[in-house]
Chain A
Amino acid sequence: MKANPAGVLTGAHFLDGDQACCEGALAAGADFAAGYPITPSTEVVERFAARVPTVGGLFIQLEDELASSIAILGAAWAGKKVFTVTSGPGFSLMMEHIGLAAMTETPCVFVDVQRGGPSTGLPTLPGQADMMQARWGSHGDYAIIALCPNSPQECFDLMIDAFNLAEQYRVPVLFMMDECVGHMTEKVVIPSADAIEIYPRRFTSLPPAEYKPFKPSPDGVPEMVKAGDGYRFHITGLTHDEQGYPAMTWRAQEKLVRRLVEKVRKNADKIVRAEECDLEDAEVVVLAYGITSRVALRALQMARAEDIRAGLLRPIVVWPFPEKRLRELAERVKAFVVVEMNYGQMVYEVERCAGGKTKTVLVEHGGGTVHDPEQVLTVIREAAR
């Protein structure tokens, strides 16, 4: 289905990543957001609070991130397209409800504009150290999808994809920005509504007597209903059966949690997405995402100028990870160079995919600013030797 034009600000704009993210949400049809102010993410909801009453829907600022992250789930079960936005400490507070969203298969988008951590860390400066928290931060086994934009244009484009993926797979989708991408201002082109494809909510067509809230469709994803439509359904964070009723047995756990994990795992080939640059003849593959990919690209150009055969692989969907592609590359390249604004997170995924067939080198950075391309170039040179 096509986007509702009411939320689509068609035209060429000069926006920062936070503002573009908000416009992406509006274009995707988001009509409910809750949030709590936190730097450097607040501009997303400030813009949403200003815009949404003029296009239909509402924003509410709540008392903390715990409230915000569950209010959106309540709104989703009343039929809304929902998201919340946070950073650093707020992201930590939201973990429990990422788990509840995964367990109850509630479509929703969590935006994390990453800043330096741990704890209060560097509120106004960038980091990329929440990447593993995004995947594993809530307790127990579950699966999520995470996207990582590297420009304001992508903040717009990928927010639409984030909502579509949340609806298609009924998982929380994590939108992993960083302070640089959030606060950099660039040209953002917003297409017309009829050029924006929207994945609609998977509402059931079954009557209440035949409907089971957690009976999966062939792709592993159940159909949804909303409160007030006469289904009298039950939703719980407890392990539950297809009816949605608590089921405290290992068999129920096995059936439910395996499905929660597999609906992403088994559809990973359809979900993963990465940008490739100069990989055809590459001996050294640089892997970077978010703002860091733009620094890595500069280093790549410098390496090519020195006739080093280096290429770039940029995961756009970071979870699930582009595992298959990396395994192919591991068969024929000299090294993977992972550039990330942390002391080693996605590098573990790369190393795992390398499987000992090629070496993996990390170019680490504690955050607060981006890497120096020279620093990356030095490592590429070394790796190419």
Chain B
Amino acid sequence: MSTAPAVQAAINPVEPFLRSDRMPHIWCPGCGIGTTVNCFSRALVDSKLDLDKVAIVSGIGCTGRVAGYLRLDSFHTTHGRAIPFATGLKLANPELTVVVYSGDGDLIAIGGNHFIHAARRNIDLKIICVNNFIYGMTGGQVAPTTPVGATATTTPYGCFERPFNLPFLAESSGAVYVARWTAFHVRHIARSMVEAFNKKGFSFIEIISPCPTLYQRRNKLGDGLDTMKLYKQKSVIKNGANTRDVDIAFGGEIIVGKFVDIERPTLHQTMDQQFRQVLKDRYAGLGGRG
């Protein structure tokens, strides 16, 4: 006679990182954002960071809602301005690990200027950009990442603008860590996130992610699962690839991998060093008087 195994409460290992009192979340079935949040939670476990010292900042949009679901000090800011908010937060308290988690429209269209300047300064921020090639929250408009030929509600006859190649933009602006994965590459994403957490400086991870409700459906790419199969089939891992060569064409291959991992002094270091050198014992530090 066998005894029934003791029933254990099913606890998702990432649950402690989530604000379960805010569930259910707003994301559609098949959306890739939740997958990235799962990876992020695993990365938090693996990195062994003190979670009281991790802050997350989002802008506006579907990915902009990530901050609200994570049990961290979290800030849901204005459209396009997550990076400058995070800049203030990080400069004011350098002990914090500050993660900016937002979408392609938020970070690269309306927030594009802040993105390049933050990379140029090499402020120590971890930028996670969920790129679904479209504006999801507002109903499927064209984005600066939409591939030529893909349709969106505001390009009903197909997109005719050249999109940004985000890893190339990040690297040429000054990022010290640049990686790209798709929502299919869950282990790679989590590993890259841990690497970014441990990196000092402007780190950028692009995650290509499905928007089944808008981008996939409008472009006849199937549902979330079909997209995972497509990502598996179309993606090619090329670590160290020249970011100049990682453009994404509509229906074309998706080059993924870790492209950049270099060392460069951070904004905080250069600022501190400059004052130390010039002001000598007149320098009172960046810490403030609070």
The interface of chain A, by Cβ under 8 A from chain B, is 4, 6-7, 29, 31-32, 34, 53-58, 60, 62-64, 66-68, 70-82, 96-97, 100, 201, 226-238, 245-246
Q: Is the CB of A60 within 8 A of B89?
A: no
A75 and B88 in contact (CB under 8 A), knowing A234-B74, A235-B75, A235-B76?
yes
CB-CB under 8 A from B74, the residues of chain A are 232-235
Q: Is the CB of B286 within 8 A of A63?
A: no
Q: Is the CB of B287 within 8 A of A56?
A: yes
With an 8 A cutoff between CB atoms, is B95 at the interface? Answer: yes
CB-CB under 8 A from B164, the residues of chain A are none
CB-CB under 8 A from B84, the residues of chain A are 34, 62, 66-68, 70-71, 74
CB-CB under 8 A from A6, the residues of chain B are 284, 289
Cα distance A192–B27 in the bound complex, in angstroms: 57
Q: Which 5 A-B pairs have the closest CB atoms?
A: A74-B88, A31-B288, A71-B88, A78-B92, A67-B84
Q: Which of B190-249 contact A (CB under 8 A)?
A: none
Cα distance A78–B284 in the bound complex, in angstroms: 19
CB-CB under 8 A from A232, the residues of chain B are 51-52, 71-74
Q: Is the CB of B52 within 8 A of A229?
A: yes
The interface of chain B, by Cβ under 8 A from chain A, is 19, 21-22, 51-53, 55, 57, 67-68, 71-78, 80-81, 83-93, 95-96, 113-114, 117, 271, 275, 279, 282-290
Q: Is the CB of A62 within 8 A of B87?
A: yes
CB-CB under 8 A from A236, the residues of chain B are 67-68, 75-76
Q: Is the CB of A234 within 8 A of B76?
A: yes
CB-CB under 8 A from A74, the residues of chain B are 57, 75, 84-90, 92
A70 and B81 in contact (CB under 8 A), knowing A6-B289, A63-B113, A234-B68?
yes
Q: Is the CB of A77 within 8 A of B284?
A: no
Q: Is the CB of A53 within 8 A of B91?
A: no
CB-CB under 8 A from A238, the residues of chain B are 76
Q: Is the CB of B91 within 8 A of A60?
A: yes
Q: Is the CB of B22 within 8 A of A245?
A: yes
A237 and B77 in contact (CB under 8 A), knowing A74-B87, A77-B89, A79-B93?
yes
For B88, give the chain A residue with the smallest CB separation. A74
Q: Is the CB of B78 within 8 A of A29?
A: no
Cα distance A238–B68 in the bound complex, in angstroms: 11
Cα distance A55–B287 in the bound complex, in angstroms: 10
For B71, give the chain A residue with the smallest CB separation. A232
Cα distance A144–B287 in the bound complex, in angstroms: 29
Q: Is the CB of A56 within 8 A of B285?
A: yes
CB-CB under 8 A from A72, the residues of chain B are 88
CB-CB under 8 A from B279, the residues of chain A are 53-54
CB-CB under 8 A from A57, the residues of chain B are 284, 286-289
Q: Is the CB of A78 within 8 A of B96?
A: yes
A64 and B113 in contact (CB under 8 A), knowing A73-B85, A228-B55?
yes
Min CB–CB distance A234 → chain B (angstroms): 5
CB-CB under 8 A from B288, the residues of chain A are 31-32, 56-58, 79-81
Q: Is the CB of B275 within 8 A of A234?
A: no
Q: Is the CB of A4 within 8 A of B289?
A: yes
A54 and B283 in contact (CB under 8 A), knowing A70-B77, A80-B290, A232-B71?
yes
CB-CB under 8 A from A231, the residues of chain B are 73
Q: Is the CB of B68 within 8 A of A245?
A: yes
Cα distance A31–B91 in the bound complex, in angstroms: 11
For A235, give the chain B residue with the smallest CB separation. B75
A60 and B87 in contact (CB under 8 A), knowing A228-B55, A234-B74?
yes
A80 and B19 in contact (CB under 8 A), knowing A67-B114, A100-B78, A230-B52?
no
CB-CB under 8 A from A66, the residues of chain B are 80-81, 84, 114
Q: Is the CB of A228 within 8 A of B87?
A: no
Q: Is the CB of A70 within 8 A of B113?
A: no
CB-CB under 8 A from A226, the residues of chain B are 93
Additional A-B contacts beyond A62-B87, A67-B117 (10; CB < 8 A): A66-B114, A67-B81, A67-B87, A71-B88, A74-B86, A74-B90, A80-B290, A201-B290, A226-B93, A237-B76
CB-CB under 8 A from B275, the residues of chain A are 53
A227 and B73 in contact (CB under 8 A), knowing A56-B285, A245-B68?
yes
Q: Is the CB of A29 within 8 A of B290?
A: yes
Min CB–CB distance B262 → chain A (angstroms): 23
A-B contact pairs, 16 of them (CB 8 A): A32-B88, A70-B77, A70-B88, A71-B85, A71-B87, A77-B75, A78-B92, A79-B288, A80-B288, A97-B78, A226-B93, A228-B52, A232-B71, A234-B74, A245-B21, A246-B76
Cα distance A232–B16 in the bound complex, in angstroms: 12
CB-CB under 8 A from B67, the residues of chain A are 234, 236
CB-CB under 8 A from A80, the residues of chain B are 92, 288, 290
CB-CB under 8 A from A76, the residues of chain B are 88, 92
CB-CB under 8 A from B72, the residues of chain A are 232
CB-CB under 8 A from A68, the residues of chain B are 84
